[in-house]
Amino acid sequence: MDLAVKHNTSVEASAFYVTDEHHAEGGSTMLGFWIYLMSDCLIFAVLFATYGVLGANYAAGPSPRDLFDLRLVAVNTSMLLLSSITYGFAMLAMAKGRVGAMQGWLVATALFGLAFIGIELTEFAHMIHEGATPQRSAFLSSFFALVGTHGLHVTFGLIWLSTLMVQVARHGLIPANMRRLTCLSMFWHFLDVIWIGVFTFVYLMGMLR
């Protein structure tokens, strides 16, 4: 009996102790970053749900039809899509080890991203100038919360992008930098995915109301 118990515990102990478990440095970064993106996705889901619930409460204020200019949104959408593809080209250049080409594509990405932010801020400024501030109605509160959060993400993506460009210029394409660039690529494409939801759910469906 005693022997059997002893035997059991030793078997269990050996099951937990795996000697050849070895992870290369940063080997789990991609999965971890993916899980961060998924949690970010939940933040946006909650903001979308809030907008979905409150989006029609105008409080006798302006409605999407009065405020949105779909041509501007179309330009903005193309800016973000173009920045996505230029980032893709940067990743391809990185895989080939061509630092110059990669930095060039990253600059293009940053410019398209800046154009996106610029157009969005112009739109916000125009709306606020017309009195459509976040305080005006529940629709506008939820609109600014959702679109503003996306814009903030893009802004932080741009800061991260410029930081990485400096890093690459200083240290070259070391494994750590390649890992960071891959993370940022996931972040950037993820923001484009969220924008698909924004322009469909907020702008296009807002115009249909």
Which residues would be at the binding site for another protein (CB under 8 A)?
22, 24, 27, 30-31, 34-35, 38, 41-42, 45-46, 48-50, 52-53, 70-71, 73-74, 77-78, 81, 84-85, 88-89, 91-92, 94-95, 182, 186, 189-190, 192-193, 196-197, 199-201, 204-205, 207-209
Q: Smallest gap, in angstroms, from Cβ of residue 25 to another protein? A: 9
For residues 151, 155, 161, 164, the Cα torsion angle rounded to the nearest 10 degrees is: -140
Q: 35 or 125: whose CB is closer to another protein?
A: 35
- CA-closest candidate to residue 181, choices 115, 117, 99: 99
CB of 175 to another protein, least distance (A): 8
End-to-end Cα separation, the chain, in angstroms = 76
* Residue of 195, 107, 200 whose CA lies nearest to 153: 195
Angle at 191 between CA 188 and CA 115, to 5 degrees: 75
CB of 10 to another protein, least distance (A): 26
Q: Which is nearer to another protein, 70 or 121 (CB)?
A: 70
Structure tokens at 17: 């102790």
Answer yes or no: are the C-beta atoms of 191 and 112 closer than 8 Å: no
Residue placing its CB nearer to another protein in the complex, 85 or 107: 85
